[in-house]
Structure 1
Amino acid sequence: MGNCELTILIVEDDESIRNILKSFIKQHGYNIITANDGIDGYHKFREASPDLVILDIMMPRMNGYDLLSKIRGSSDVPVILLTALGKEKDQSHGFDLEADDYIIKPFSYPILMKRIEAIFRRNKKINTVDKNTALIFGDLRVETARAEIYYKEEQIKFTPKEYELIKFMLEHKNQVFTRTHLLDILWGEDYYGNEKVVDNHIKNIRKKLDMELIETVWGMGYKIAGRNQEAPKR
């Protein structure tokens, strides 16, 4: 069962789906707040500071992509996109905007709960204080006790999953990990999504850092090399 201290915001314009989601997830022990469009959802998000957001994309007044962008402007709260848009380009755009998961309608309510619980488990691990003080790679410093990342002494904002990925890779420099391996380790065996979620998270990390950090090993996967080198200026 869930934690009654955790609050989930559901932003969905279809009243029947919204009510079913609310009833089903509430049965698992979570506090539920709902909104029926993007603008209402943003107001509820600002007021309630939820622990997770479940977000439809095709909504009136403000679509889910725009709402996710506004949320990411101030928060790294986990966001699940729940939508009928199933094309690869739609999913890729959602992950580019730093969604934590992307679920296509129609969907299984029990599997949705598994994904929600998996996200909360991962975030709990991230927020657990690490006895190590920092991981250093050139101008990059990961303060593990506070789950913060600095580049050239400037704090860079990462989502919980991006932070977890960077930290894991730094702890295993020079080792090559396939997408499947990273999914199993960082997303967990109960993750049912597309392995391209790994590529999208790494792409977002590269956008935020002006240095060569996670390298692609063609035909194999990804690694952090044991050298510290800034990326060439473009």
Structure 2
Amino acid sequence: MPKILIVDDEPNIVTLISRYAQREGYDIVTASDGREAIDKCRSEDFDVIIMDVMMPDTDGFTACKKIKEFRDIPVIMLSARGTEFDKLFGFEVGVDDYVTKPFSPMELMARIRVVISRTTASVPVNDSRHITYGGLDIDTFGLTVTVDGERADLTAKEYALLLLLVKNKGIVLSRDRILNEVWGYDSFGVDRTVDWQIKLLRSKLGNYRDSIKTVRGVGYKFEM
């Protein structure tokens, strides 16, 4: 049974999400602020975290960044602030999805299902363990990337994005396709989501950053 951590200082929001999540068959654990969420993640593992941004003591962004330092748990962030800056900042600290309040509980459940299915999906058995281009090595079993012998500190989304590009080497992928393949949605309502994630990914690839080519007005491709 997938286990979800719901983090929000508004009891009515926690109750609402818990009710719908339990109907989906999820095991529910709750926390009222970011610090409590960090503590719970140190002692327990979760399949996904649903977390509010604005909370007392430790906000959601700070908590997400701290948790990602010791556990790679997908985080869906909730916020009444839906500006592009807020969403892009969230992606930078490791947020996997961003839902603006007020939200549809059914839509949130759909997003949870997608996140869990993508993070628990196994690598096809016919894939080779390593995809290597020069000093760039992608371990498809260990889900890690090394650049010239040093491990790159990629988030789950950055890894999925790189793997998608590499597996489609030489093929131009549109932003819409990347959104759909990596995040599981046709659109986040944020035009620059893919561009921002590409920028973050390039910054971690060292000498291979230029292997991700921009195709103006269309999208991106991987080329060596």
TM-score, normalization by structure 2: 0.92
Does residue 109 (structure 1) correspond to residue 89 (structure 2)? The answer is no
Cα displacement (A) at 1:192: 5.0
- The Cα offsets for residues 77-118 of structure 1, whole Å up to 9 and x where unpaired, read as 100001111111111111111210000000000000000001
Contact 1:180 1:195 in 2 (8 A): no
Tell me, in whole angstroms, the C-alpha distance in 2 between the residues paired with 1:127 and 1:52: 20
Cα displacement (A) at 1:68: 1.0
Segments of structure 1 that go 5 or more residues without pairing to the other structure are 228-234
Contact 1:215 1:222 in 2 (8 A): yes
* Pair 8,208 (structure 1): closer, same or farther in 2 beyond 3 Å: same
* Pair 189,68 (structure 1): closer, same or farther in 2 beyond 3 Å: closer
Cα displacement (A) at 1:172: 1.4
The residue aligned with 2:50 is 54
Secondary structure at 1:223's aligned position in 2? strand
Tell me, in whole angstroms, the C-alpha distance in 2 between the residues paired with 1:39 and 1:142: 34
The CA RMSD over aligned residues, in Å, is: 1.8
Q: In structure 1, give the amino acid aligned to 2:39.
A: H
The residue aligned with 1:231 is none
Cα displacement (A) at 1:187: 2.6
Does residue 21 (structure 1) correspond to residue 14 (structure 2)? The answer is no
Tell me, in whole angstroms, the C-alpha distance in 2 between the residues paired with 1:180 and 1:62: 34
Q: In structure 2, give the amino acid aligned to 1:90.
A: D
Cα displacement (A) at 1:63: 0.6
Q: How many residues align?
A: 222
Tell me, in whole angstroms, the C-alpha distance in 1 between the residues paired with 2:158 and 2:129: 19
Cα displacement (A) at 1:223: 0.8
The residue aligned with 1:123 is 119
Correspondence 1:1-234 to 2 at 5 A? 4=1, 6-125=2-121, 131-189=127-185, 193-211=189-207, 212-225=210-223, 227=224
Q: In structure 1, give the amino acid aligned to 2:219.
A: G
* Pair 128,55 (structure 1): closer, same or farther in 2 beyond 3 Å: farther
* Pair 131,178 (structure 1): closer, same or farther in 2 beyond 3 Å: closer
Percent of aligned pairs with the same residue? Answer: 36
Moved more, 33-42 or 128-137: 128-137
Cα displacement (A) at 1:41: 1.2
Cα displacement (A) at 1:200: 2.5
Q: In structure 2, give the amino acid aligned to 1:222.
A: Y
Secondary structure at 1:208's aligned position in 2? coil
Tell me, in whole angstroms, the C-alpha distance in 2 between the residues paired with 1:205 and 1:126: 23
Tell me, in whole angstroms, the C-alpha distance in 1 between the residues paired with 2:198 and 2:122: 18
Segments of structure 2 that go 5 or more residues without pairing to the other structure are none
Tell me, in whole angstroms, the C-alpha distance in 2 between the residues paired with 1:129 and 1:59: 43
Cα displacement (A) at 1:159: 2.2
Cα displacement (A) at 1:62: 0.4
Contact 1:76 1:158 in 2 (8 A): no
